[in-house]
């Protein structure tokens, strides 16, 4: 809980979550939840989709319409703990949303992404969405081809390929808050932990809040460098040969076919 509050505050302070922008979901350990809660259901909410893989699982989730800047002052109003039931078509509220609120409008994208990432990495716990300015700006001026987008980011900072060797997947503009964008995001999550929503923001997935935050932070930093140099003549870059050296040095493998 403390980490969730700290992360939401940090994201707000980075300018990634204006107003109610962004949302976070974290898969919780049942034993951990039982230690703190009496497990009484406050109410049952319809999810609007099915996620049988997550039946019975517990999540700490930011509330819809809630401001990240306020999470630290009233966590119980801005966050909630839910248990998915009935094949994920319903969620029991066990704690939070004290003003009668509900989970983020992007709940389907979060839950479907959890399903997709847990297949790839059973230790995945966090899905995070936000609106970082440089990545968002980049989607207006850069080719949205995933290989091209990823290669540009990798070329902007030496450590990018080390932090996200699986690259960045990209969705074209789609209507947010729908099951369609949720399904499309989850499909993209099968092959990368970062999914850019063009002209909207980004999704990240990871084993804990720090790792997921760091993933987005690294991509956002690369996008910032890109925007600083995109209009200038390019004199130097990180070559594919150098990227291969990074692969060897850090024991990572770049996404298949993304390097020459």
**Annotated catalytic sites, by residue?**
106
Give the nearer residue to Zn ion in terms of CB position, either 110 or 142.
110
146 binds ligand 13P (CB under 6 A): no
Strand bridging mode 194-197 / 168-171: parallel
Among 23, 108, 124, 185, binds ligand 13P (CB under 6 A): 23
Among 37, 69, 174, 176, binds ligand 13P (CB under 6 A): 176
169 binds ligand 13P (CB under 6 A): no
What distances in angstroms separate CA 256 from CA 34, 161, 165, 192, one per listed residue?
43, 13, 10, 12
Interface residues for Zn ion in 179-218 (CB under 5 A)? Answer: 201
Q: Measured from the CB of residue 234, what is the shortest distance to ligand 13P in angstroms? A: 33
Count CB neighbours of 122 within 10 A.
8
In the block, which residue shows the tokens 């809040």?
Answer: 209
Among 16, 21, 24, 221, binds ligand 13P (CB under 6 A): 21
Secondary structure E strands in the chain: 23-28, 43-46, 58-62, 79-85, 90-96, 126-130, 168-171, 194-197, 201-206
Give the nearer residue to ligand 13P in terms of CB position, either 83 or 110.
110
From the list 99-107, 183-191, 232-240, 249-257, the region that binds ligand 13P by CB under 6 A is 99-107
From the list 20-28, 117-125, 216-224, 242-250, the region that binds ligand 13P by CB under 6 A is 20-28
Among 64, 70, 178, 191, binds ligand 13P (CB under 6 A): 64
C-alpha–C-alpha distance, residues 61 and 210, integer Å: 16
Closest among 49, 30, 162 to 115, alpha carbons compared: 49
Q: Measured from the CB of residue 159, what is the shortest distance to ligand 13P in angstroms? A: 27
C-alpha–C-alpha distance, residues 260 and 36, integer Å: 52
């Amino acid at each position: 809980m403390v980490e969730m509050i700290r992360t939401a505050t940090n994201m707000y302070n980075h300018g990634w979550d204006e107003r109610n922008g962004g949302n976070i979901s974290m898969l919780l350990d049942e034993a951990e939840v039982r230690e703190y809660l009496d497990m009484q259901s406050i109410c049952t909410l319809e999810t609007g989709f099915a996620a049988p893989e997550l039946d019975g699982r517990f999540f700490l989730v930011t509330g819809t319409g809630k401001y990240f800047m306020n999470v630290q002052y009233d966590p119980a109003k801005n966050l909630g703990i839910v248990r998915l039931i009935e094949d994920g078509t319903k969620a029991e509220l066990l704690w939070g949303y004290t003003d009668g609120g509900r989970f983020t409008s992007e709940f389907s994208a979060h839950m479907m992404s959890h399903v997709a990432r847990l297949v790839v990495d059973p230790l995945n716990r966090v899905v995070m969405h936000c609106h970082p300015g440089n990545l968002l700006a980049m989607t207006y001026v850069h080719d949205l081809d995933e290989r091209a987008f990823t290669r540009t980011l990798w070329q902007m900072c030496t450590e990018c390929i080390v932090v996200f060797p699986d690259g960045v997947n990209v969705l074209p503009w789609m209507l947010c808050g729908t099951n369609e964008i949720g399904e499309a995001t989850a499909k993209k999550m099968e092959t990368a932990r970062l999914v850019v929503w063009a002209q909207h923001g980004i999704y990240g997935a990871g084993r804990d809040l720090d790792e997921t935050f760091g993933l987005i932070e690294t991509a956002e930093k690369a996008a910032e460098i890109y925007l600083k140099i995109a209009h200038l003549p390019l004199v130097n870059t990180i070559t594919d040969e150098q990227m291969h050296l990074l692969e060897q040095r850090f024991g990572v493998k770049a996404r298949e076919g993304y390097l020459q």
